[in-house]
């Protein structure tokens, strides 16, 4: 099959779950002998740039100046149109919400909906956010719509009114990159300093619906709040507001750490954390809990949206809107070696349900259904 992906998300994300998902699909199809290509001219994506498969002819650059991003989208779309005129694909998998249709109206097309965060939490995105509008246009022209969880599918149907028969649930696959043996000197020093006390690991952005503030409030009420550290990986340096909140809650400043870094460092943090915490109000799928399970790190998680669907019984769940529930979840996990061990074993079993080959096979069946 001749499968095409457009460039849209690869001009938006250096890293991120959406682009990682599409690159992994493209790699699976390339390995299986399909003619697969990400079309366009320029991109900024690290996953696409690092792929060893011949899945794109695009050139990677470090970043797009803001004033040129819209122009780059247009140039990439024009390049894609020319590619399609020379050799039309059998199908296009649109990479993200887009106001413009690339390729002829008759070209079979599929899109993936990863979450409905912009629709459910509009207060966090501003009046200029047009993602919900672009998503409606994208799903309207698609022959099939893939949702990454049943939770996301329910939200999509409820919010947009799309025919449920047009939707399909395909869970992401899972694989974690990086080798903890490849840490550089700065990363080794950070890890050594963290190991002075037990620490709770948080991964990703900390804005609004991620509920990092709620997690801090719940953590501060545990009996171990001054004996256990918090390590936040990614998401940028702690803000003045976050540091002030931690201080007001009595969390020692030296126990609050933040760092970015390599996949190798992230794996090392999972391996050495006492537990991983995922307090979000909403996610479309959520890779970090699976990453934690793969490194024998017990998971404490919000019970909202897709989390029970993805995590199954392999985490201690709490209500993210209830501070006491968050406190109890953290307290029980931190104080019980036996409980942590039981969730580590459940995590190993849960991971068997997720693979990129299964995701690719199920997605390919949907491709075939629209041809």
Q: With b meaning 16 or more CB within 10 Å and e meaning fewer, what string describes 21-44?
A: bbbbbbbbbbeeebebbbbbbbbb
Neighbours of 127 (CB within 10 A): 6
DSSP letter at 238?
Answer: P
What's the pLDDT at 139? 97
pLDDT tens-digit profile, the chain (371 residues):
999 999 999 999 988 889 999 999 999 999 999 999 999 999 999 999 999 999 999 999 988 776 677 788 889 999 999 999 999 999 999 999 988 899 999 999 999 999 999 999 998 888 889 999 999 999 999 999 999 999 999 999 999 999 999 999 999 998 887 888 889 999 999 999 988 899 999 999 998 899 999 999 999 999 999 999 999 999 999 999 999 999 999 999 999 999 988 889 999 999 999 999 999 999 999 899 999 999 999 999 999 999 999 999 999 999 999 999 999 999 999 999 999 999 999 999 999 999 999 999 999 999 999 99
Give yes or no for a contact between 238 and 258, defined as CB atoms under 8 angstroms apart.
yes
Reported pTM: 0.91
What's the pLDDT at 151? 97
Which residues are within 8 A (CB) of 247 and not within 5 positions of it... i.e. 6 or more apart?
253
Q: What is the residue extent of each domain of the chain?
A: 2-173+355-370, 180-351
**2-173+355-370 matches 180-351 in fold:** yes
Give yes or no for a contact between 259 and 283, defined as CB atoms under 8 angstroms apart.
no
CATH number of 180-351: 3.40.50.2000
Place of tokens 């869970």: 171
What's the pLDDT at 255? 95
**Which residue pairs, CB below 8 angstroms and at least 24 apart, start in 292-296?**
292/201, 292/347, 293/344, 293/347, 293/348, 293/350, 293/351, 294/174, 294/176, 294/270, 294/347, 294/351, 295/176, 295/267, 295/270, 295/271, 296/271, 296/344, 296/347, 296/348
DSSP letter at 316?
Answer: E
Q: Identify which of 270, 214, 264 has the alpha carbon closest to the alpha carbon of residue 242.
A: 214
Angstrom distance (rounded) from CA 299 to CA 296? 9
Q: Which helix (H) or strand (E) holds 278?
A: strand 275-278
Question: Which residue stretches of the chain are H helix?
Answer: 17-31, 46-50, 66-86, 117-120, 131-141, 150-160, 185-194, 212-220, 240-248, 263-272, 288-294, 307-311, 323-335, 337-351, 356-370
Architecture category of domain 2-173+355-370 in CATH:
3-Layer(aba) Sandwich (3.40)
Give yes or no for a contact between 7 and 76, defined as CB atoms under 8 angstroms apart.
yes
What's the pLDDT at 153? 97
Measure the CA angle with vertex 10, ends 9 and 15; round to 5°.
95
What's the pLDDT at 176? 82
What's the pLDDT at 318? 98
Angstrom distance (rounded) from CA 7 to CA 96? 9
Q: Which helix (H) or strand (E) holds 276?
A: strand 275-278
């Amino acid at each position: 099959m001749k499968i095409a992906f457009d460039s849209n998300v690869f001009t938006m994300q250096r890293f991120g779950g959406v682009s990682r998902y599409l690159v992994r699909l493209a790699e699976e199809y390339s390995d299986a002998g399909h003619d697969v290509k990400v079309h366009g001219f320029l991109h900024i994506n690290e996953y696409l740039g690092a792929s060893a498969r011949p899945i794109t002819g695009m050139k990677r650059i470090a970043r797009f100046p803001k004033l040129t991003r819209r122009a780059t989208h247009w140039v990439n779309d024009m390049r894609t149109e020319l590619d399609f005129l020379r050799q039309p694909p059998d199908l296009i998998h649109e990479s993200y919400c887009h106001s413009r249709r690339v390729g002829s109206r008759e070209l079979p097309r599929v899109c993936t909906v990863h979450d409905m965060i912009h629709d459910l939490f509009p207060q966090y995105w501003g009046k200029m956010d047009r993602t919900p509008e672009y998503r409606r246009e994208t799903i309207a022209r698609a022959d099939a719509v893939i949702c990454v969880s049943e939770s996301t599918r329910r939200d999509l149907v409820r919010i947009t009114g799309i025919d449920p028969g047009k939707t399909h649930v395909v869970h992401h696959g899972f694989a974690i990159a990086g080798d903890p043996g490849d840490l550089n000197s700065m990363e080794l020093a950070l890890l050594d300093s963290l190991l002075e006390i037990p620490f709770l690991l948080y991964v990703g952005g900390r804005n609004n619906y991620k509920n990092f503030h709620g997690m801090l409030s719940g953590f501060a009420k545990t009996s171990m709040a001054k004996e256990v550290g918090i390590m936040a990986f990614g998401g940028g340096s702690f803000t003045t507001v976050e540091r002030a909140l931690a201080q007001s809650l009595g969390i020692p400043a030296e126990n609050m750490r933040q760092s970015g870094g390599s996949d190798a460092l992230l794996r090392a943090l999972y391996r050495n954390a006492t537990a991983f915490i995922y307090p979000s109000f909403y996610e479309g799928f959520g890779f970090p809990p699976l990453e934690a399970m793969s490194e024998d790190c017990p998971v404490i998680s919000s019970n909202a949206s897709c989390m029970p669907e993805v995590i199954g019984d392999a985490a201690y769940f709490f209500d993210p809107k209830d501070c006491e529930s968050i406190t109890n979840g953290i307290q029980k996990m931190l104080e019980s070696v036996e409980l942590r061990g039981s969730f580590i074993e459940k995590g190993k079993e849960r991971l068997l349900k997720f693979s990129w080959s299964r995701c690719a096979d199920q997605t390919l069946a949907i491709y075939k259904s629209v041809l």
